[in-house]
Amino acid sequence: MKGKWMAALLTGALALSAAAPVGAADQWDMAYIGRMKLPKGVTFTEGEQQALPFLATGGIRWTLIRAGMLNGTFYNMTWADGADFSYGWAASVQIGAQYLAKEGAAAYRNKTPAEQMDVIAANLNGELRASGITYEGDAPLVRRTDRGHPRWEGSFVVTVIENDITYREAYHMVLQVSGFRVVLGIINSDADNTALTESLSQMVEKRRFYKEKDLLEAFLRRH
């Protein structure tokens, strides 16, 4: 199982399921990650995407849970701007002791969230490199120097060939400490839609972080 979840994760944007809108028309609250101003034409709806590559493993949610991540919040994305129409998906999941144990790093389960986050980031970077992604810089995920909001972030592109058709998928991934827990945020979209890819990256970069009391209240509501 080790490493297989990443392979499945990086081939996910192939189908869409219906769900209800999340947040205000121009705002998106990505669970535990932050509040973001949506680019023009972009809509996120809460619900797990029924993507074909995940059917054999029970869907995106169960693929991540079996990899050692806790149940999270999942979203579908659409982008309509003129003649363009694109699909994508997003997820925000807690990642910590269970994941560390599955990856052979159980000794870190009693460390601080920031220490756990750094170990998790190193492991994710190794898996991402091994999966053959395309990225700029020294590593897929790079640590941001921010004492108030410790985190790793990165953008990369995955090329997938299905039935002789080539798909290029863009990912923006965030690993951060939120409310004394480590959270992994993932946003997937069509890499060939460069305007959309750039607008989503900017959206995440400019997000507003939640206050600790708001994170605690949100955690209690969802558990």
Q: What would the two tokens of residue 113 be?
A: 């969230």
Q: What is the pLDDT of residues 162-221, one digit of tens each?
A: 778 887 889 999 999 987 789 999 998 989 999 999 999 999 999 999 887 666 665 556
Q: Count the domains in the chain.
A: 1
- Strand locations in the chain (E): 27-30, 34-37, 42-46, 73-81, 84-94, 142-144, 151-162, 165-178, 181-190
* Structural domain for 144, as ranges: 4-222
Segment (H or E) for 9: helix 4-9
Q: What is the pLDDT of residues 39-77, one digit of tens each?
A: 999 999 998 777 655 666 677 777 777 777 887 899 999
CB neighbourhood size of 71 (10 A)? 13
Backbone angles phi, psi at 153, to 5 degrees: -145, 155
What CATH number corresponds to the domain at position 61? Answer: 3.40.1000
Instruction: Provide the whole-model pTM.
Output: 0.84
